[in-house]
Amino acid sequence: MKLDKELVAASSAPLILSLLVEGDSYGYAIIQRVRELSGGKIQWTDGMLYPVLHWLEENDQIRGRWEKAESGRRRRYYSILPKGKKALDDQREQWSLVNATLTKIWRPQYA
């Protein structure tokens, strides 16, 4: 099953914020983790992650910092900020509401 483009786009910010709540991370690792958690079903075009990261940073939801990786090259790590945690709480409520509503509607149909 492949997720619709719109759904992938809408879920990208809450997915990123949720992963950053677990701990600081960087682009490549975030993509790998999403792939792993979704069993490879959520497939982002890798480059599309970065505009979302930058948008979240522009809106003070996350903060980026450069660190030296094992390879000696710089890598940009991101950490979640209080505004990001608040945005994630809002998103969680909204997604839960949509999920609960759809579950109620679909239950009799698939029972």
Partner 1 sequence: MPNLENQIAAWRESMAGKVPAETIEELEAHLRETIQNHLRRKATESEAFQLALAQLGSVPQLAGEFQKVENNLWWPVKAAAVGGSFLALLSLFFVIAFLTSRPAGGLLATHVFAVTVGYVSVLLMGGIAVCAVGQRAFSELSASQSRSVSKAFFRFGVIASAFTAVAIALGMIWAKISWGSSWSWDLKEIGGLSVLLWSIFFLGAQRTRSVSFHGLVLYGLTGNIIVALAWFAPTTFGLGNYNPGDYIAMSLIILPSLIALGAGLLPAAWLSKKFTAE
* Interface with partner 1 (CB under 8 A): 26-28, 45-48, 50-51, 54-55, 57-60, 69, 71, 73-76
How far is 8 from 15, CA to CA, in rounded Å? 10
Supply the minimum distance, in Å, between the C-beta of residue 93 and partner 1.
23
b/e 37-47 (16+ beta carbons within 10 angstroms → b): eeeeebebeee
Amino acid at 76: R
Supply the minimum distance, in Å, between the C-beta of residue 92 and partner 1.
23
DSSP count for the chain of H helices, then E strands:
4, 3
Closer Cβ to partner 1, 4 or 58, answer by number = 58
Supply the minimum distance, in Å, between the C-beta of residue 76 and partner 1.
5
Closer Cβ to partner 1, 39 or 47, answer by number = 47
